[in-house]
Amino acid sequence: MSERQDLRLLAGLVPKGSRVLDLGCGDGELLAHLIDARGCSGYGIEIADANVLQCVQRGVPVIQLNLEEGLALFQDRSFDVVLQLDTLQHLRNTERMLQETARVGRIGIVSFPNFSHWGIRLQVIFTGYAPVSRRLPYQWHETPNIRVITLKDFRKFVHEVGLRVLDEVAIDTHSQDRY
């Protein structure tokens, strides 16, 4: 696995030997690490053709699926851990996907860009522009994000849909970023 500290930290949240479902697994880097270094098993779910191909090349079991369609092909509690990393802000039906995450997994690990982070706030204040950084590399009109999420919004939403946050961990994905 690469030297990305965020991926190492996320992997450390997954118990060794877990059965894992990685929603929006991208190129499969994290799931490959979980399989190789932590003895996990499971699947990645990915929609993008190029990412599915990279998963296959890495030897990561992957299913090409649009998350907007839900997870009906999985039974309740099929997985120990469901990863929903940087996907929530791209989905139209966030409530359904969080409910599905809770249904198919014993625990869910969710991450998203915190749009109330002080660096993002400062960039907006001092430049007047929507933030662009290595973590958020898109101009506002090109972004795949259809949601802007803050920690407070997420906590409130999770409570409203009948779920609960067991723990929170702040992960700096690129400490050299200057939002």
**Tokens representing 91?**
């989905």
Q: What is the pTM of this model?
A: 0.81
Element (H, E) at 30: helix 29-38
Strand order from edge to edge, sheet including 41-46: 62-64, 41-46, 19-23, 79-85, 105-111
Cα–Cα distance between 77 and 139 in angstroms, integer?
39
Higher pLDDT, 95 or 120: 95
Q: Is the pLDDT of residue 6 over 60?
A: yes
Task: Please state the rounded mean pLDDT for residues 89-105.
Answer: 90
Average pLDDT of every residue of the chain: 84
Q: Is the pLDDT of residue 87 over 50?
A: yes
Instruction: Report in angstroms the alpha-carbon separations of 68 from 4, 54, 118.
Output: 28, 22, 31
For residue 57, give every residue at least 6 positions away whose Cβ sits within 8 Å of its Cβ, in sequence order, or none.
Answer: none
Output the CA angle 9-13-18, nearest 5 degrees: 130
Give the pLDDT band of residue 118 (cuts 50, 70, 90): low
Q: pLDDT tens digits for 136-163?
A: 676 666 666 667 778 888 889 889 999 9
Cα–Cα distance between 66 and 133 in angstroms, integer?
27
Supply the pLDDT for residue 178.
33
Give the pLDDT band of residue 176 (cuts 50, 70, 90): very low
Of the candidates 88, 43, 85, 50, the one whose C-alpha atom is nearest the C-alpha of residue 68 is: 88
- State whether residue 45 is helix, strand or coil: strand
Q: Is the pLDDT of residue 54 over 60?
A: yes
